[in-house]
A and B are shown apart, each in its own frame.
Chain A
Amino acid sequence: MIPFAKVAAPDVDFAGLAPLIAVFGGALIVLMLGLLRSRAARETGVPALSVLSLVIAIGLSIWQWGERTDLVAGALRLDELTLSLTIIFCVAGIASILLSWRHVAPREAAHGEYYALLLTSIAGMIVLVAAQNLVSVFLGLELLSIPLYVLCATEMRRASSLESGLKYLVIGSVGSATLLYGLAFLYGATGATDFKDIAEALGSGGDLVSDPLLLAGIALSIVGLGFKASVAPFHQWTPDVYEGAPTPITAFMAVATKAAAFGIVLRLFDVALIDAAVDWGPPLAALAAFTIVVGNVGALGQSSLKRLLAYSSVAQAGYMLAGVVVASRLGLQATLFYIAVYLVMNLAAFAVIVARERETPLGDDIASLDGLGATRPALAWPMTIAMLALAGFPATAGFIGKFYLIDAAVDGDYAWLGIVIVVGSMISLAYYLKVVAAIWMRPAAESTDLAVLTPGPEPLLAGGSDEATGLRAQGEVVAVAVFFGVLTVVLGVVPSPLFDVVRDAGAALGLL
């Protein structure tokens, strides 16, 4: 027998891995199904099956709720944080599949590949937030990023989509490389790749906390993850990539990638490196404050809704970072709460953008929303609610989320960061309300149905169905907008269920 074959295979808990397997399995089946000749199978069967696999993954996550075990020899951790974020990714995935269905992007990229890549990216996110080991962190990060580089460039005939994909690839790779370098330094300083061992090494006292090797590792990790979470000053790619990518993918990136990045930031900093909080606390707090200001000021002059939301997502990353900085259980819960709320608010907004891109020739310009209140109330209300929620108005989930974050910041002796959040929110009013004003207070454009008469900016493709570029947004897009708009209000009035979820997740990390 060959010696290296003696390595004992790790015990695999398939029940714990079930959500991940469902998503991966879905990706493979979808890829195969996309090869079928039948148009119905490709255009309807593939997305339906993708949604099904995500629904199954959500079901399995709920089934596994309450389990707290290590999976695959401690490479991954199954707990409520993993599971709640899994549900968040799957919800984001379902929403973007619904937005992609009958969109131009999957037709150009072949349906099977498009949805398989999306599902693979979700699987990567699950691996990333479950990671309990520096190696699986990197594995998960790459698995989530590489499909996204491709997805950004799926509208092959639009230069800006290609530009977006390339930009994301280059900058994402720099970020990944930086993170990898940082992880290597962390390993070098602590001698461990496992989060528990790292925490133990740091907690055992000694002057490891001020070891230059560790400091360099932390700094490089912050930079690397900062790229993924679009934290200023590593955010410059965000507006360009968001603007160029197909809008359903932008929506997915805005909510799911950000959630994944913050999931691992929570695990890495608030669990593994918790005893080094003196090292990363102040710089991370400074980054949070800087991000809030840069994001909000950057959004002020934007006329493209996607760019506006890109800058807004930078600002929101700053708010969430504030929850990480306080390094308390309250902070962790507040961050997770905000991630969920952020998902709901943004999906409502992006669904409306997708709808208007199909209905008007104006693309994602704010002008595409002019007079929406009079012509399309089913789109106007969700967008209004989403904007008010992002700005933190009461009776929306955004208000409770911000309340929780400020509460955590003040409680963790970072009252000044709470004030920065508030100042950021003040600045943000100017651009969020600009959108609301366009919807309700400006007259509708001459003819919003112009798209029918003149072909839209995207050329009709061979094999494309006519209805895909029709004048009305398809029902599923409106449904996504309305569903998440309503959810924004419901969670703003009855937030208790979400509080229960994040409390479980907070308890799962235990270390704090």
Chain B
Amino acid sequence: MTLHLSFAVWLPLAFGVAGLLAPPRLAPKLALAGTLLVLGYAIAYVIDFDSANAGLQHVTDEIWIGELGIHYKLALDGLNLFLVLLTAILWFFCTLWASFGAWEKPRLFYFHLALAQTSVLGALLAQDLALFVVFFDLMLVPFFFLTGIWGGAKRVHATMKLVIYTLVGSLLMLTAAIATGVLAATGEDGLSFAFSDLAQRTIESSTQNWLFLAFAAAFLVKMPAFPFHGWMPDGYKAMPLPVLALFSAVLSKVAAYGFLRICLPLFPDASEHFQTLMLLIALFSILYGSAMAFTTTHARLILGYSSIAQLGFIVLGIFALNSQGAQGAMLQAFNHGLVVAPAFFIVALLSARADGSEDIRDMGGLGMRAPVLATFFLIVTFATLAMPGSSNFVGEFLILLGVFQTKLAIALIASTGVVLAAVYALRLYIRTMHNRTGPRVESRELSLRDGLVLVPLVLAILAIAVYPQFALQRSEPTVTSIVPSALEEKAAAAPLPEASP
């Protein structure tokens, strides 16, 4: 069975362009068909995946720009497999969700949505540094338009802020990427940006440091992490909700994935050198995000700040620099994406029942009259707060286990984040589902149509909660191979979590 990755990457765009040319009423249908096909592809990749293989699978390798040593190289491995699956799942359901609403200029809307999926998949699958940068920067273009054209109040201001923040990081990354390629090139081999070539060439430690910082800046802004989140509140308030769900659930993961794909393997010395700094940033993100999440009353921002905290956990796991931490980070990236998208969907449902308000003070008392909705929300809430039994619990457990082995103090403080998560997640649940019924709240049960989106996503959460090894097992060989080997030896004493069922 040949499963060319190029198909998966370019299919959404092809359908998007077709939608642009078709009559407006066909646009959502075409977009759905495209995302459904990609979902089918992604499931086929997961089934076809050889979990014993730590290397690249389904490799497509062509020379794109020979003069600059840029390859068009796509491949799957344990690092990106589940993020690709996550992207495919969420894009399908968010497109479905979006198709419930009526958008102005629908053809353009679905075109940008499709372009976004193509660029995200491209960034995840790229096995060439320059190609990664191309797709990573390209992700921003559709979101710029999606926010700026179809966003809420003050959308232009918010869009500009979002784009300028993230592009400043991206452009730094561009310089660093070029410098990496040029500085790693040796006389005889010539310029190459392929990860496999770069990993074999060594870069001086002192150079690694500034390259690492440039990449880290780009990724931390995109996530966002604590001191780099200035664009987040405005951006989150302005984006249309289906777009926001994708942005929060998938794009932030691409940034986290960038750390694992680029920073750790290519700049191992710098990763160790800046380990404490990165762990502290992660720690502050957890504490700051949690604190903000249980003080703000805007439902979107609660989820936004909780994402900052959750991504703090992911960074924490990555910079534990051992395989437990990295495994936990991978799993948690998948989990968080799977949890936050339905959470945004529920916010949309709640807001529709509270006369359009997204302030939790205007909500409340829905639980009694809409028990099914409340049940689903409870499951999502429990997953968010990493209730034992959920996959998030396994993820956070692995992350903290990894950090305990390297930096005990940080791990101790970070573990309070688990408690804080319970506070803000339950607060959101209680304020919306219990309490006194809001003055303008109109309680309605989950409609069948909305169930089409919510039920499969919740089922996915449950599935991964029951059987997280499914993901861990497939990512383990690759994750182990990218963790810096020096620390790996130190950590080798601790047994890996049993991966086989």
Stretch from B173-181, B252-260, B407-415 that touches the partner: B173-181
Q: For the complex formed, measure the closest distance between the CB of B115 and the CB atoms of chain A, giving whole angstroms.
A: 9
Q: For the complex formed, measure the closest distance between the CB of B27 and the CB atoms of chain A, giving whole angstroms.
A: 15
Chain B neighbourhood of A407, CB < 8 A: 68, 178, 181-182, 191
Q: Is B65 an interface residue (CB 8 A)?
A: yes
Report Cα–Cα, A437/B144, bound state, in Å. Answer: 9
Q: Is B67 an interface residue (CB 8 A)?
A: yes
Q: For the complex formed, measure the closest distance between the CB of B63 and the CB atoms of chain A, giving whole angstroms.
A: 9
A-B contacts, CB under 8 A, total: 91
Question: Given the known A-B contacts A406-B175, A407-B68, A496-B65, are A441 and B138 also in contact in the complex, defined by CB atoms under 8 Å?
Answer: no
Report Cα–Cα, A434/B167, bound state, in Å. Answer: 15
- B167 near A499 (CB under 8 angstroms)? no
Q: Is B56 an interface residue (CB 8 A)?
A: no
- B65 near A400 (CB under 8 angstroms)? yes
Q: For the complex formed, measure the closest distance between the CB of B139 and the CB atoms of chain A, giving whole angstroms.
A: 10
Q: Is B141 an interface residue (CB 8 A)?
A: yes
- B-facing residues in A123-164 (Cβ within 8 Å): none
- B178 near A393 (CB under 8 angstroms)? no
Q: For the complex formed, measure the closest distance between the CB of B453 and the CB atoms of chain A, giving whole angstroms.
A: 28
Chain B neighbourhood of A395, CB < 8 A: 134, 138, 141
Q: Is B273 an interface residue (CB 8 A)?
A: no
Chain B neighbourhood of A388, CB < 8 A: 141
- A415 near B130 (CB under 8 angstroms)? no
- A410 near B179 (CB under 8 angstroms)? yes
Question: Given the known A-B contacts A394-B137, A407-B178, are A422 and B171 also in contact in the complex, defined by CB atoms under 8 Å?
Answer: yes
Report Cα–Cα, A403/B171, bound state, in Å. Answer: 11
- What does the 1/0 interface line of A401-436 toward B look like (CB < 8 Å)? 011101100110001001101100110011001101
- B68 near A437 (CB under 8 angstroms)? no
Chain A neighbourhood of B168, CB < 8 A: 426
Report Cα–Cα, A433/B158, bound state, in Å. Answer: 13
- B156 near A418 (CB under 8 angstroms)? no
Chain A neighbourhood of B108, CB < 8 A: 373
- A403 near B130 (CB under 8 angstroms)? yes
Q: Is B390 an interface residue (CB 8 A)?
A: no
- A433 near B182 (CB under 8 angstroms)? no
Q: Give the interface SS of chain A, mostly helix, strand, loop or mixed.
A: helix
Chain B: number of interface residues, binned into ranges: 35 or more
- A-facing residues in B140-187 (Cβ within 8 Å): 140-141, 144-145, 148-149, 155-156, 159-160, 163-164, 167-168, 171-172, 174-175, 178-179, 181-183
- What does the 1/0 interface line of A376-411 toward B look like (CB < 8 Å)? 000000000000100011110001101110110011
Q: Is A374 an interface residue (CB 8 A)?
A: yes
- What does the 1/0 interface line of B92-118 toward A look like (CB < 8 Å)? 000000000000010010000000000
Q: Is A440 an interface residue (CB 8 A)?
A: yes
- A-facing residues in B188-209 (Cβ within 8 Å): 191
- B174 near A406 (CB under 8 angstroms)? yes
Chain B neighbourhood of A374, CB < 8 A: 105
- B-facing residues in A438-492 (Cβ within 8 Å): 440-442
Report Cα–Cα, A233/B68, bound state, in Å. Answer: 33
Q: Is B66 an interface residue (CB 8 A)?
A: yes
23 pairs across A/B with beta carbons < 8 Å?
A333-B67, A373-B105, A373-B149, A374-B105, A392-B171, A392-B174, A393-B138, A399-B137, A407-B181, A410-B175, A418-B178, A421-B175, A422-B171, A422-B172, A422-B174, A426-B167, A429-B167, A430-B164, A440-B148, A441-B159, A442-B156, A499-B67, A503-B67
> Which residues does B use to contact A, with CB under 8 Å?
65-68, 105, 108, 130, 133-135, 137-138, 140-141, 144-145, 148-149, 155-156, 159-160, 163-164, 167-168, 171-172, 174-175, 178-179, 181-183, 191
